[in-house]
Structure 1
Amino acid sequence: MVKTLNELELTVSRKIPAPRQKVFDAWLSPSMLAKFMRPGGKDMTAKASNDPVKGGRFSIVMTDDGKEIPHAGTYLEIDPHSRLAFTWESPHSCDDSVVTIDFAELEPGITEVTLHQVKFHSEQARDGHRGGWTAILEALEDTLG
């Protein structure tokens, strides 16, 4: 059975050896976002700006091989150190796509980050985002390490 665009979703998670507050705060810091929002690896660069309040906007422009890929969104929920939710606007996702990130302290200094995104143009777009978010979580761990 083929899923409709509204039913397509993904979940990725990663255990990061850093305190929950530090991991959470990295998602709201433009300088930190620029360091780990690079799913293309070290050859990719990113610029970020944001207004980290509910209803505030963010912008992340990833540059890969000279090509700029704009991403933006609106913060829907900011629950300090526990949850972030925001719209995700990119050339590769639906305009009403939403990303929710939960931060759980498994033990002191170990944080599990669980990212869930809904609504994609196609299964291929969803799978591409899964790879991108997985690479971003790896880069986040490297950045915080």
Structure 2
Amino acid sequence: MNPQVLKVEKRISADVTRLFRAWLNAEDFSRWFLSGEMIGIDSVTMDPRPGGKFLINMTLDGKILPHEGEYITIDEPHKLVFTWRSHATENRDTLVTVTFTDLTNVDRSKGLKEKPQTLVTLIHEELLNDIQIKMHNQGWTSILESLNQWIGV
């Protein structure tokens, strides 16, 4: 078995701190964390601290699909690292790192700042095969697009 790595990126027109905090507030998170058209969120519980756990109960065709993990690193507003376990990882722990890079330009000569721009980079490690890579690529891509749409509201 050669564990594989998936990388998904999305440039979002929003402040880096606001985007970071959207990942750690259960109420906000449940509004945007959607991995596909047919997927819903039943419930979200979070204990956002290193060693704290989270549980995301997604729904599909009337079934609840638990996704759970543990926060390893919370470095506001730059980096989140957590384990990720679900049916799509064969109930094995995998590792997700989300980084938030502020791309906002500041024109120091004029003291002007552009509208906020953040690059969200998600790296998912320890996936076992091409099927897991494909499933998670679709899921994480949809999730980052949902975050972009939610944050723009």
> TM-score, normalized by length of structure 1?
0.92
Match of 1:66 in 2: 62
Match of 1:45 in 2: 40
Instruction: Give the deviation of 1:69 after TM superposition.
Output: 1.0
SS in 2 for 1:84: strand
Q: Which has the larger radius of gyration?
A: 2
For residue 127 of structure 2, what is the amino acid of its counterpart? Answer: F
For residue 53 of structure 2, what is the amino acid of its counterpart? Answer: R
For residue 146 of structure 2, what is the amino acid of its counterpart? Answer: A
For residue 40 of structure 2, what is the amino acid of its counterpart? Answer: T
Match of 1:119 in 2: 126
The 4+ residue runs of structure 1 with deviation greater than 6 A are none
Sequence identity (%): 35
CA RMSD of aligned residues (A): 1.2
Match of 1:92 in 2: 88
For residue 68 of structure 1, what is the amino acid of its counterpart? Answer: I
Instruction: Give the deviation of 1:5 after TM superposition.
Output: 3.7
> TM-score, normalized by length of structure 2?
0.87
SS in 2 for 1:131: helix
Per-residue deviation, residues 65-88 of structure 1 (Å, max 9, x unmatched): 212111000000000000000000
SS in 1 for 2:97: strand
Distance 1:129 1:93 in 2: 9
For residue 64 of structure 1, what is the amino acid of its counterpart? Answer: L
Structure 2 residue ranges without an equivalent (≥5):
105-114
Instruction: Give the deviation of 1:143 after TM superposition.
Output: 0.8
Distance 1:61 1:121 in 2: 23
Match of 1:17 in 2: 13
Distance 1:15 1:21 in 2: 14
Aligned residue pairs total: 140
